[in-house]
Amino acid sequence: MSKNRALIVVDMQNDFMPGGPLGVTGGDEIIGTINQLARQFENVVLTQDWHCPGHMSFASSHPGRDIFETFEAFYGPQVLWPDHCVMGTRGADFHPKLDIPHAGLILRKGYNRDVDSYSAFLEADRKTRTGLDGWLASRGITEIVVCGVATDFCVGWTACDARHFNLSVAMVDEASRGIDLEGSLDRAHRNMDIAGVDIVTISQLIG
Ligand code: VGL
Ligand code: ZN
């Protein structure tokens, strides 16, 4: 596939797979599809949710707070999650069946203790860049295709933020799975629509 296009595979890590602390239903079912899709791309980026122990997005860091409650962070509302993807742990590793050896970049995000980062482009303060925009621009990449988990959090935010950097963006629904917390999946689809993200099937993409 063309040199100006990249596939971004979001957070296909053990802790997001069924049975994990933040398991996404069907997260493991899309691995084969993603492996195959990745073979169509010369440029592939893998993202990795990568939190320090005691990260602010963990309910366990806020005594008296429960998981899935919303916490008022300095940058706005933040969902409190079960501990997940702690840097250097097995839970933060990619699923062992993910097989994309030609991926050129592994982008870690969420390692700053006081700021979460669903998006692979901008942290939750909506100011701090991860550097992914520069990596893509310096390679002349103008179109991205996004898939992975979770559709309604890291995939959706990454897709919408990419539009802010003037990239053309497609999201592959059949290669993504969502958490669906209080309507978040519908909301994510709506937000992607408004942002100008194309929601595509693999056959539309590959032709
Ligand atoms: C994610 C919640 C917390 C994701 C990451 O990958 O969608 N969701 N951290
Ligand atoms: Zn996280």
Residue ranges and CATH numbers for the domains of the chain are 5-52+86-206 (3.40.50.850)
Give the whole-number percent of the chain exceeding pLDDT 90: 98
Q: Is the CB of 81 under 6 A from ligand 1?
A: yes
Ligand with an atom nearest the CA of residue 10: 1
| Residue-wise pLDDT tens digits, 128-154 | 999 999 999 999 999 999 999 999 999
* Atom nearest to 10 CA in ligand 1: 6
* Atom nearest to 57 CA in ligand 1: 3
Q: Is the CB of 153 under 6 A from ligand 1?
A: yes
- Tokens 């040199």 locate to 3
| Residue-wise pLDDT tens digits, 25-56 | 999 999 999 999 999 999 999 999 999 999 99
Query: Any residues with CB less than 8 A from the CB of 36 and at least 6 apart, and which?
Result: none
Q: Is the CB of 149 under 6 A from ligand 1?
A: yes
Determine the pLDDT at residue 59: 98
Question: Is 170's pLDDT higher than 80?
Answer: yes
ipTM of the complex: 0.98
